Amino acid sequence: MTRSIKVVIVSDNHGDLDALTYVKEKHFDADYFIHCGDAALPPYLLDGFAVVQGNNDLYNSFPPFRVLEIGNHRLYVIHGHHDLFFGSLSQLKSKADLNHCNIVCFGHTHSYQEIEAEGVLFLNPGSIHHNRDGSKPSYMIVTFHDDDIKVQKMTYEKT
């Protein structure tokens, strides 16, 4: 039996460093921290996060996407601002397939999503700064144990 792998996924903090500090301190035991873009912070403040470029990361150069191998899974990480047309996930699905990924992590919409479709798990942690649907700012914890995946929506209470 292998040990579980804990992954923290955030997106769209829009310069709110306190939110990222909170997540890193609260989940100090995490194996990975993923940021799905729109950090709006310089790279040195994002130490420990695998970050992708968002549409508001104007002065930084992060990669447009990342492919991460975590346990038995391949994750395609992207912000999504060029790929979400009228809420359709089809372009993200195509990119996941092209990169042999079974999970897509994305942001941009400021709304939490957890959808399994056509063999791909689509994960959007919402915004840890401000969700557009009126819900509290959110992020997610994903726990991998062999082929099992557990996803938890977490809320961030600003202090």
- Which pairs with CB-CB distance under 8 Å and at least 24 residues apart come from 43-46? 45/17, 45/20, 46/20
| H-run or E-run covering 6 | strand 5-10
- Give buried/exposed letters for 132-141 (b at 16+ CB in 10 A, else e): eeeeebbbbb
> Where do the structural domains in the chain lie, given as residue ranges?
5-155
Asked if the model's pLDDT at residue 110 lies above 90, the reply is yes
Q: Please provide the CATH number assigned to the domain covering 5-155.
A: 3.60.21.10
- The answer to whether residues 12 and 109 touch, using CB atoms and an 8 Å cutoff, is no
pLDDT band at 17 (very low <50, low <70, confident <90, very high): very high
Tell me what the mean pLDDT of segment 40-64 comes to: 92
Q: Residue 58 corresponds to which tokens in the numbers above?
A: 């104007």
Asked if the model's pLDDT at residue 1 lies above 60, the reply is no
